[in-house]
Amino acid sequence: MVSLHHILGACTQCLSHYPAAGACIMIEIRRSNERGQANHGWLQSRHTFSFANYYDPEHMGVSALRVINDDKVIPGRGFGTHGHQDMEIISYVKRGTIAHKDSMGHVEHLPAGEFQLMTAGTGITHSEFNPSTEEPLEFLQIWILPDRRGLEPGYQQKRFDPRNGLQLIASPDARDGSLRLHQDALLLQLRLSAGEEATHVISADRCAYVHVVSGGISVNGTVLSAGDGATIRADDVLEFVGLASEDVINEALLFDLP
């Protein structure tokens, strides 16, 4: 039997096990089918970066971004109570609902389209469960290193009104109604109709990671499909174009990283 520890890994180990990620190149593509994978029956997961039993020294993270797991949980199952420390943990529900309970006293439901940000800090325990008896739960689990250890644990949850273009989801100063992220990084949600365009500037001392949630998006002419990702470094404008037909949502998450 695979233990919960092996499935999730340990946040305390993340800080020491993962070396600093290498410098971003101009555009480095990470195709969906190249990601690590795990199948535990009740949980199927695709790992963009090294996680738990999946280890690839070429894919250890980008800057402070350490984990993007694309998880699918069958009805009535979930992650039992487990602990985290010194990590910013973001969940984004693509389909279904997460039933969440933690040691800070939060008992919440996180439906599709909502974002959750937990500051693990000095230590928290929590559980994540698919309460449906019929519908699978699909969500992205994202870990970002905080700017310092020993933060007070915290919990944030918010639904952002869907709109096309780029929308700020998390930032270090919680500006424009975004969630507060304890790192010099930005998380933006990108939604584009077919043929629609959007731009974002990356300065020379920063890099970006793009993860496509659904549909298809081109980044400066590079085509990315659902599950694909790309590391980008450029003192220039990133130009995004929605590719899929009108009945498909072209959606991606953009990380602007130090």
Burial group, residue 245, by CB count within 10 angstroms (0-12, 13-18, 19+): exposed
- The whole-angstrom separation of Cα 225 and Cα 161 is 24
Task: Dump pLDDT digits (tens) for 117-175.
Answer: 999 999 999 999 999 999 999 999 999 999 999 999 999 999 999 899 999 999 999 99
pTM score, two decimals?
0.90
Task: Dump pLDDT digits (tens) for 68-112.
Answer: 999 999 999 999 999 999 999 999 999 999 999 999 999 999 999
Q: What are phi and psi of 32, to 5 degrees?
A: -55, -45
Spatial contact of 127 and 81, defined as CB atoms under 8 Å apart? yes
- The whole-angstrom separation of Cα 36 and Cα 195 is 31
- The whole-angstrom separation of Cα 245 and Cα 247 is 6
For 8-164, strand residue ranges (E) read: 27-30, 36-39, 43-47, 65-73, 78-84, 88-95, 97-102, 107-111, 114-119, 124-129, 137-144, 154-159
In this prediction, residue 248 has a pLDDT band, given cuts at 50, 70 and 90, of: confident
Q: What are phi and psi of 194, to 5 degrees?
A: -60, 125
Does an H or E element contain 219, and which? Answer: strand 216-219
Strand partners, 127: 101
Task: Dump pLDDT digits (tens) for 9-57.
Answer: 444 334 433 334 444 448 999 999 999 999 999 999 999 999 999 999 9
Least Cα distance to 32 among 231, 251, 227 occurs for 227
